Amino acid sequence: MSDPRPAGRPASSALGRWFASRVPFFYANWITTLGSLLAVVAVALLLGALALNVYNVLLERPASPYVDMVTFMLLPAVLVGGVALILVGAAVQRRRRARGEVRTVAIEVGGPEFLRKALLVGLLAVLGLIMSASFGYEAYHYTESTEFCMKVCHAVMEPEGVAYERSPHAHVACVKCHIGPGADWFVKAKLSGLRQVVAVMRNSYQRPIPAPVENLRPARETCEACHWPEQFNGSKLVVREHVEADRDNTPSVTSLVIKVGGHPQPGVRATGVHWHVDRGNEVRYRALDDKRNDIVEVVQKTPDGEVRYLRDGADPADTAGEWRVMDCIDCHNRPTHIYEVPGRALDRAFTDGLLDRGVPWLREATERALFDVTPGGDTAGRVAAYLDSLYAADHPEDLAAMQARRDESAGVLATILARNVFPRMNVTWGSYPSNLGHVDLHGEIDESGCFRCHDDNHLSEDGRAISQDCDACHSLLTERETDPSALPDFVSSVLTRRE
Ligand code: HEC
Ligand code: HEC
Ligand code: HEC
Ligand code: HEC
Ligand code: HEC
């Protein structure tokens, strides 16, 4: 049974008649009606949200990321859905008309009614297009923004975000390293992003978030947008001011010149640290664990040929583990989510004058406090109580001197804890160690970082080892030197703290 009422003119109510006579196109059948309703509501809400945004900007109020998310992602989707329904409804109506199920409304082509409708439809189409294009563009940019990454998963990404904000890459958007240029990685990233959002909603993610990141885009495609090996060359002087863990908190200086190296000129062989990533070279390795610490086999490929190194004692027939081609991330695994080592954070605080070297044993006591106190409600208060009991037990004669500076010291320690230890995500000291060197949490030389390969224990067939020569990567000028007169002049001249 077909509807006895003529199409485009279902004049059942006064409002219906009014509406139908003005916008018959949107009222042809229930599909177009639903579509029009959705579109109208979406446009109205979008305009409202836009007004809210303008209002926030005018009042210099911070915009809410959740409002932004609805504005820039949900509403445009509703608008697009509404327009799609209108088109589907129009197509259905055309088919019905062709089958003669409804009476065709005769419109004279070029006549006044035709012109009016064509103008209306055209105008609405252009408006819809402009709005969805601009909001789509905004939505795209919004999902690419650091704000989106941080706000949508605030609690989950807190450690990474806090570490990032203090790093040299604080103004580089998350996506520059995590997605990079090109459509294929964009799609991959959005899909894996969706999976992550689901994991967060189901509360099924791992804490801490595992590193190395599985399937991180090859670093050469992301980092090299801004840094490339031809750019590095020469050497870099590193001067580190320490404070020893003795009663006097004696200052000391470690200084070294790192052979940053790289590619001096086309055709000239690269030397130094960036030799591994020079265009002509490739280093690949096989690790037994997913942290990539337990490296058994290394293959070095250069224009001169291949050299294979096997860890002393490893069985050459055993092929367990996973191969990986070395890139920037194998050394710079913490380019931006840089967590401190407790000792270094304290050295900085003393050097910057935040902690007082005049308080006996303060360097030693504060390092113990950093390991033993977990941040949470009133961290500073608990640090202060910890210092009290530590001094009362171990250095009662210096308790009063410590208490004179106790509260400000506890405040400094609370800040250091807040940017490195995140109990909610199980992130603590050493959860994310750096591979850019070879020292442990206590500043002692260990087997990590460069020494995973450079341990004099990975041997080629002709008996050569991957070198652990202390001068291969840097010249060590001074190591924890406490005598100021023993420092080279150019090292003393760059110290922040001169006595
Ligand atoms: C300069 C490049 C860079 C930028 C910018 C960057 N990241 Fe990372 N991020 C990395 C690298 C490299 C790793 C992986 C390290 C590894 O695999 O060991 C990583 C790892 C992570 C991890 C896994 C946990 C961890 O700490 O290893 C999370 C989560 C993360 N990043 C989130 C973010 C967020 C959120 C932002 C923006 C606020 C961001 N990243 C910005 C380079 C970057
Ligand atoms: C969008 C550009 C951009 C990308 C992508 C990028 N960086 Fe950087 N990087 C910078 C800027 C800007 C600085 C700061 C330079 C400065 O402070 O002088 C920097 C600094 C650095 C430094 C020196 C830090 C220091 O302590 O002085 C290192 C190392 C570094 N980046 C490594 C990386 C690695 C590894 C990647 C890839 C995971 C990467 N960068 C990706 C722009 C970028
Ligand atoms: C074999 C380990 C290793 C690899 C691989 C490596 N780097 Fe480095 N890079 C270092 C070390 C070590 C330094 C000096 C660290 C310091 O300043 O304390 C350094 C320094 C840098 C600097 C700062 C240079 C300066 O003069 O201050 C940048 C930028 C950088 N690397 C980027 C990269 C990029 C991009 C890649 C990948 C194409 C890469 N590195 C690969 C170990 C490595
Ligand atoms: C996956 C194994 C591996 C890791 C990790 C590694 N290297 Fe290497 N490196 C090699 C191999 C293989 C060679 C070539 C053999 C040699 O020179 O002993 C090499 C050579 C070098 C050279 C000499 C380059 C030249 O001029 O010929 C320097 C300098 C160097 N590495 C620095 C570093 C530093 C610094 C780190 C840590 C930040 C590091 N490497 C981490 C495998 C590694
Ligand atoms: C494969 C390269 C490589 C070799 C070999 C090497 N180092 Fe290092 N060393 C590094 C890098 C990279 C750093 C980190 C520089 C930084 O922290 O900016 C470093 C840092 C250091 C530091 C400073 C640590 C700190 O906490 O500030 C000392 C001390 C040191 N090395 C001693 C040695 C000694 C002793 C040897 C010989 C047994 C040696 N290194 C061999 C790459 C190497």
SS (H, E, C) the chain: CCCCCCCCCCCCCHHHHHHHHHCHHHHCCHHHHHHHHHHHHHHHHHHHHHHHHHHHHHCCCCCCHHHHHHHHHHHHHHHHHHHHHHHHHHHHHHHHHHCCCCCCCCCCCCCHHHHHHHHHHHHHHHHHHHHHHHHHHHHHHHHCCHHHHHHHCHHHHHHHHHHHHCCCCCCCCHHHHHCCCCHHHHHHHHHHHHHHHHHHHCCCCCCCCCCCCCCCCCHHHHHHHCCCHHHCCCCEEEEEEEECCCCCCCEEEEEEEECCCECCCCCCCCECHHHHHCCCCEEEEEECCCCCCCEEEEEEEECCEEEEEEECCCCCCCCCCEEEECCHHHHCCCCCCCCCCHHHHHHHHHHCCCCCCCCCCHHHHHHHHHHHCCCCCCHHHHHHHHHHHHHHHHCHHHHHHHHHCHHHHHHHHHHHHHCCCEHHHCECCCCCCCCCCCECCCCCECCCHHHHCCCCCEEECCCCECCCCHHHHEEEEEEEECCHHHCCHHHHCCCCCCC
Could you report the per-residue pLDDT of 193-232, keeping only the tens digit for each?
777 777 777 788 888 988 888 778 888 889 988 988 777 7
C-alpha–C-alpha distance, residues 252 and 360, integer Å:
16
Note the pLDDT of residue 326. 95
Residue with the smallest CA separation from ligand 2 atom 27 is 168
Beta bridge mates, 257: 237, 475
Cβ-Cβ contacts under 8 Å for 67 (sequence gap 6 or more) = 49, 52
Nearest CA to ligand 4 atom 14: 466
Which residue from 223, 276, 277, 436 has its CB within 8 A of the most atoms of ligand 2, so it is best to mutate?
Answer: 223
CB-based pocket (< 6 A), ligand 5: 238, 240, 254, 256, 258, 436-439, 443, 450, 454, 468-470, 472-474, 476, 479
- pLDDT at site 11: 47
Mutational test site, ligand 3, from 172, 332, 435, max ligand atoms within 8 Å of CB: 332
Residues 6+ apart with CB under 8 A from 134: none
For the segment 316-330, what is each residue's pLDDT rounded down to a tens digit?
Answer: 899 999 999 999 999
Contact in structure between 295 and 452 (CB atoms under 8 Å): yes
Considering only CA atoms, which residue is closest to atom 2 of ligand 1?
Answer: 177
Pocket test for ligand 5, best of 309, 473, 480 (most atoms within 8 A of CB): 473
Residue 497: its pLDDT value, please? 63
- Residue 101 backbone phi and psi in degrees, to 5: -70, -25
Choose which residue among 470, 471, 478, 479 to substitute to test ligand 5 binding: the one with the highest number of ligand atoms within 8 A of its C-beta. 470
Report the share of the chain in percent with pLDDT over 90. Answer: 49
pLDDT at 10 over 50: no
Global pTM value? 0.85
Q: Give yes or no for residue 324 CB within 6 A of ligand 3.
A: no
> Does residue 283 line the site of ligand 4, with CB under 6 A?
yes
State residue 123's pLDDT score.
83
Question: What tens digit of pLDDT does each residue of 251-279 get?
Answer: 999 999 999 987 667 777 788 999 998 88
Mean pLDDT, to the nearest integer, of 71-98? 84
Q: How far is CA 395 from CA 14, 30, 245, 246, in A?
A: 92, 84, 14, 12
Asked if residue 209 has its Cβ within 6 Å of ligand 1, the reply is yes
Cα Dmax for the chain: 105
Q: What pLDDT is stored for residue 103 in this prediction? A: 58
Query: What is the spatial distance between Cα 170 and Cα 174, in angstroms, rounded to a whole number?
Result: 9
Average pLDDT over residues 485-497: 89
Distance 452 CA to ligand 5 centre (A): 13
Span 239-250, pLDDT tens digits:
999 999 999 999
* pLDDT for the residue 387: 98
Please check the confidence at residue 475 and state whether its pLDDT lies above 60. Answer: yes
Residue pLDDT, tens place only, 157-191: 889 999 999 999 999 988 888 887 766 776 677 77
200 HSE (CA, 13 A, CB side): 16
Mean pLDDT is lowest, of 215-219, 344-348, 377-381, 445-449, for 215-219
Look at residue 1 and tell me whether its pLDDT is greater than 50: no
Would you state the pLDDT for residue 35?
87
* pLDDT tens string 107-166: 566 677 777 877 887 787 777 777 766 766 677 777 778 887 777 777 788 899 999 999
**What pLDDT score does 26 carry?**
59
Summarised one tens digit per residue, pLDDT across range 460-470 is 999 999 999 99
Please give the pLDDT value at position 108.
Answer: 62
- Which pLDDT score, from 0 to 100, does residue 54 have? 76
Q: What is the mean pLDDT of residues 366-381?
A: 96
pLDDT at position 6 is 44
Please give the share of the chain, as a percent, with pLDDT higher than 70. 87
Average pLDDT, the chain: 85
Task: Report residue 63's pLDDT band, with 50, 70 and 90 as the boundaries.
Answer: low
Which of 15-19, 109-113, 332-336 is modeled with the greatest confidence?
332-336
At 149 the pLDDT is 78
Is the CB–ligand 1 distance for residue 213 below 6 Å?
A: yes
